[in-house]
Amino acid sequence: MTEQSKPPDQSGRLKQDNLRLSHDLAQLQTIARIIVDEPGQADLLIRLSEHIARLLKTKRVM
């Protein structure tokens, strides 16, 4: 199916979800960059990396 065949409300919702995920991803990337500069934060960085990977996978599916 093409994007044009989706109902307008679904298309709008998907666009909003995509914008929200893009915003969340940008925030997480900024936080991850800050944490990398802090010593002793490896566990938090690992959890953030996993969360970013899930967001990227979700974004690709959309």
Domain of residue 52, residue span:
9-61
- Please state, in angstroms and rounded to a whole number, the distance separating the CA atoms of residues 62 and 44: 27
Q: Residue 57 domain-assigned?
A: yes
Q: What is the pTM of this model?
A: 0.48
Q: What pLDDT, on a 0 to 100 scale, did the predictor assign at position 5?
A: 63
Q: Residue 38 domain-assigned?
A: yes
Q: Residue 41 domain-assigned?
A: yes
Using the predicted structure, report yes or no on whether residue 4 has a pLDDT greater than 60.
Answer: no
Q: Residue 13 domain-assigned?
A: yes
Q: Are 15 and 7 in contact (CB under 8 A)?
A: no
Using the predicted structure, report yes or no on whether residue 30 has a pLDDT greater than 70.
Answer: yes
Q: Residue 2 domain-assigned?
A: no
Where does the pLDDT of residue 1 fall: very low under 50, low under 70, confident under 90, or very high at 90 and above? very low
Q: How many structural domains is the chain composed of?
A: 1
Q: Residue 4 domain-assigned?
A: no
